[in-house]
Amino acid sequence: MAVSRARGRFSVIWLVCLLVGTLTNVAQASEVSTDGILMGDADSGKAKSQACAACHGADGNSAVGIWPKIAGQSENYLRAQITAFRDGTRSDPSMQPMVSGLSDQDVADLAAYFSGQVVVSGQADPQLVQLGALVYRGGNSETAVPACSGCHLPDGSGNNQAAWPALKGQHPEYVEKQLQAYASGTRATDPASMMREVAQRLSDQEIKAVAQFITGLQ
């Protein structure tokens, strides 16, 4: 019964990915109005990004593995996560004080700036890349783990319309930390518990491997 429920959840996650992808294409094709959405200004974001640079780098390519690269990140995802840190729905002792005073316009401007930067890919561990590629591209049918590429795309560029993050080039240390946080439930910013469901079914070895594969994606 447990396997049956897991496989059912696996199918639901795939259906959500397909549905959002379809809706994204429809929205782009019909040029949906941005009325009601606060538009960010990249130039203003650059001027406001000095405080971010200490950890994330001036262009969003952080030099330390535990601090995420935010260059080229999905703009909507950046908005959502900065807002979550600011409002306390996502907790991090180093981020909270940095963003607590940001206005919605500040958030939009920072997201516009960093999303326009180019992420620099890392060097993957060749011993783990093969397993990582299998999980990222094909998942694991035995444990009902869907392919990461279903939501984050084969090239790791993410889905801006759905606010699903870009993964390519990300530090493996940071990816591991976040997957472990989802698995333990200490991070719960994922809609419909999608990432928590997936991370709980990944082995520690699979987490390490997919993190290594991601950092080498270009």
Q: What is the pLDDT of residues 178-215, one digit of tens each?
A: 999 999 999 999 999 999 999 999 999 999 999 999 99
Average pLDDT over residues 44-58: 97
Residues in the chain: 218
What is d(CA 182, CA 2) in angstroms, rounded to the nearest whole number? 20
Mean pLDDT score across all residues of the chain: 89
Residue with tokens 């759905």: 162
- Position 29 confidence tier, pLDDT thresholds 50, 70, 90: very low
CA dihedral 138, 135, 73, 212 (to 10 degrees): -150
| pLDDT for 218 | 83
Long-range pairs for 60-68: beta carbons < 8 A, 24 or more residues apart: 60/114, 60/117, 60/119, 61/117, 61/119, 61/120, 62/171, 64/171, 65/171, 65/172, 65/173, 65/174, 66/171, 66/173, 66/174, 66/177, 67/171, 67/174, 68/170, 68/171, 68/174
Residue with tokens 């909270």: 96
For 159, which DSSP code?
A: B
Q: Which CATH architecture has domain 42-115?
A: Orthogonal Bundle (1.10)
- Tell me: the pLDDT tens digits for 85-112? 999 999 999 999 999 999 999 999 999 9
- Tell me: the pLDDT tens digits for 154-175? 999 999 999 999 999 999 999 9
Residue 176 in this model has a pLDDT that exceeds 70 = yes
What are the φ and ψ backbone dihedral angles of 173, each rounded to 5 degrees? -60, -40
- What is the CATH code of the structural domain delimited by 2-29+121-216? 1.10.760.10
Question: Could you state, in order of their start, the residue ranges of all structural domains in the chain?
Answer: 2-29+121-216, 42-115
- Position 36 confidence tier, pLDDT thresholds 50, 70, 90: confident
- Helices 104-115 + 75-87 axis angle, to 10: 140
- Tell me: the pLDDT tens digits for 106-160? 999 999 999 999 999 999 999 999 999 999 999 999 999 999 999 999 999 999 9
Burial of residue 190, with CB atoms counted within 10 A of its CB: 0-12 exposed, 13-18 middle, 19 or more buried: middle
Report yes or no: 61 and 119 within 8 Å, Cβ to Cβ.
yes
